[in-house]
């Protein structure tokens, strides 16, 4: 569910959801994905830190890579928090949701277009 990291009551609600799922299903949640917008910039790092405190994030989905944003902030997020990028969104169709390919990502970062 979408949550603003600057809204304390919404972050508390997220923590509660995480706890309730853990009580209902042993070992759950099995996967917690943080969806980050590639256009967010430096704010993505603070979002990842605070959401990581609320729920044990196991991976990142980086979206909106089809626009002008290159998503370079994800390097800082990975370096600071060691959370792997698992998927990327490069458009609006289902086919545009892909597994993260580090080589393709780096090549796109340095593409002069």
Q: pLDDT digit string (tens) for 44-61?
A: 898 899 899 888 999 999
Residue 36's CATH number:
3.40.50.300
**25 within some domain:** no
Q: Please give the structure tokens belonging to residue 97.
A: 């949701």
**51 within some domain:** yes
Q: pLDDT digit string (tens) for 15-34?
A: 999 999 999 999 999 999 99
In terms of C-beta density within 10 A (0-12 exposed, 13-18 middle, 19 or more buried), how is residue 87 classed? middle
Structural domain harbouring 42: 30-109
pTM of the model: 0.83
pLDDT band at 2 (very low <50, low <70, confident <90, very high): low
**89 within some domain:** yes
pLDDT band at 6 (very low <50, low <70, confident <90, very high): low
**17 within some domain:** no
**66 within some domain:** yes
Please give the tally of structural domains in the chain: 1
């Amino acid at each position: 569910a979408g949550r603003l990291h600057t809204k304390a009551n919404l972050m508390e609600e997220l923590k509660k959801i995480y706890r309730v799922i853990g009580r209902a299903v042993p070992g759950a949640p099995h996967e917690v994905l943080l969806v980050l917008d590639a256009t967010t910039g430096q704010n993505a790092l603070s979002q990842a830190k605070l959401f990581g405190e609320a729920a044990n994030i196991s991976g990142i989905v980086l979206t909106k890579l089809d626009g002008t944003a290159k998503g370079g902030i994800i390097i800082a997020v990975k370096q600071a928090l060691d959370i792997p990028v698992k998927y990327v969104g490069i458009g609006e169709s289902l086919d545009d949701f892909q597994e993260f390919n580090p080589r393709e990502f780096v090549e796109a970062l340095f593409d002069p277009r």
